[in-house]
Amino acid sequence: MKTLTHFRSHIVLLLVSALLIFSCGEEDLTRPNPVNNNNNNNNGNSNTTDPDIAVNNWILSVMEAYYYWNDIMPTPISNTSDPENYFESLLVEQDRFSVIYPNYEDLINSLEGVSKEAGYEFILFRESLDNQNVIAVVLYVKKGSPAEEAGILRDDVIIEINGVTMTLSNYQTVLGGISENHSLTIARYDDKANSGEGGYALLDEPVELSTVELSENPIHMDSVYTIGDKKIGYLMYNFFSPGDEINPDDEETYGVYDQQLDDIFADFKSQGISDLILDLRYNGGGYVTSAINLASLIAPGVTSEDIFHKTKYNNGLQAEFIKAYGADYLTSKFMEKSQNIGNQLSGGTIYIIGTGRTASASELIINGLMPYMTVKLIGERTYGKNVGSAVFDDEDNPDNPYGLLPIISQSFNSLDQSDYFNGFVPDVESDEFENGRLLPLGDINEAMLDVAISQITGEPSGERKAIVDRIELGNSIDTKLRFGKMIEKPIPFK
């Protein structure tokens, strides 16, 4: 193998916007049958031959009825405009999250974790201030993916894609090649490189990868560690999705991934864990129903009468709620689950690993659990998203392929708290690169897990190496459509 001695030696920090070559970020979601708006208001243009007019009138009707900020929504541009531009013209200044997607079916697949890919996520860095090169470091590899089969590992450094070195001027174009079959030139850490001192060395041959329609399981891993007198459960959960419905005829939607979570917590309970680490560092959100399921496995002493979170809609919908239910909020309550481990947890405390990629439904978990237990956050400030979306498609117009994910609600916990628009600040700061390289996920010496364990055991974390400054250029997780999404249930009185 060829030894590399310098490619990560001068990397310094600079976060920039997500890569444009990927699809836009996602919203927090609840598992709906997708909310549909059947009002095809053509504003007197029903006979028009311009298809954009029908699409734009549908967009406007959805936004006028459901958009959280509909009372201050800007005047739309011409209804003959491109639908994506028309939708964007309706968004208020403070809205960072509403999304229009060119194809509704692709939108649903992405929210469920289904996409065409090779199965690895990565973060981009500038290699050095001394050159213009860009490298990608693999964050994790998805189970059952071509990348796993090809032997790609966390911490692998991608030097070239399809034989082309990425630079500041070309990396967005070069990264476009990973959507199809491609090759990666990889440097991997070798304990024997650099005369036995350890370092990164090029693999002898590029790794050939195919892309497939991959359905990712959001449960990346779970473990139980016995350390001294502590038995610590660990769960890495990468997005909120219930999975395929177990019984499609059941009104209460329940999926295979939610069932797998139940089984994991049943095992945690039977093993008598005393502490729990929930790793949400890569979890950008997803369906609220799965967040309720997870919270119901964790919160101590909760019943089906206890409120997990409250949802507030725009003034018009709120008036409908008050009229129909005599309540200012739609409330979501915990489920009573035999697998719940809350009463086993030492000091009623949960340890959550979070980063700037921890968003939306993940933050709903943090906020929703706080009234019931101590939540200790390890890592970085979270993303900051306390609003939710619903999925809309146009059933009345088969020629309208678009899917909408507008912001329709704001979330509050049982104490009416919703003050995390700027994210949650960690109780203990940690960075997964602070040891200089990425150890395998689940390794008790892995930087962020090590810090979380030290908080539980009271023992100091392992010896730290000097933090490596780095210029970050983006990552593949933030560009997933599901990132930053919290999908709400259908409007109950519609």
Domain ranges of the chain: 114-213, 215-465
Select the more confidently predicted residue: 270 or 319: 270
CATH number assigned to the domain with residue range 215-465, chosen from the 4 options 3.40.50.1860, 3.10.20.30, 3.10.620.30, 3.90.226.10: 3.90.226.10
**Residue bearing the bigger pLDDT, 487 or 223:** 223
Which pLDDT value is given to residue 466? 35
Model confidence at 436, in pLDDT bands (50, 70, 90)?
Answer: confident
- pLDDT > 90: percent of the chain: 68
- Output the pLDDT for position 477: 58
CA atoms within 13 A on the CB side of 293: 26
| Residue 462 predicted with pLDDT over 80 | no
Cα distances (Å, whole numbers) of residue 190 to 83, 128, 193, 401: 51, 21, 5, 49
Q: Which range among 34-43, 210-219, 343-352, 475-484 shows the weakest confidence by mean pLDDT?
A: 34-43
Residue range 250-268: average pLDDT? 87
pTM across the whole model: 0.82
Q: pLDDT category, 196, cuts 50, 70, 90?
A: low
Render pLDDT for 132-182 as a digit per residue (tens, 0 to 9): 999 999 999 999 999 999 999 999 999 999 999 999 999 999 999 999 999
**Does the domain at residues 114-213 carry the CATH identifier 2.30.42.10?**
yes
C-alpha 403/C-alpha 399 separation (Å) is: 12
- Please, what is the average pLDDT of the chain? 84
Q: Tell which wins on pLDDT, 469 or 68.
A: 68
CA distance 157 to 172: 17
**How deeply is 150 buried, as exposed, middle or buried, from its count of CB atoms within 10 A (0-12, 13-18, 19+)?**
middle
Same fold flag, 114-213 and 215-465: no
If one compares 483 and 90, the residue with the highest pLDDT of the two is 90
Least confident of 172-176, 269-273, 370-374, 375-379: 172-176
Res. 474 pLDDT band, cuts 50 70 90: low
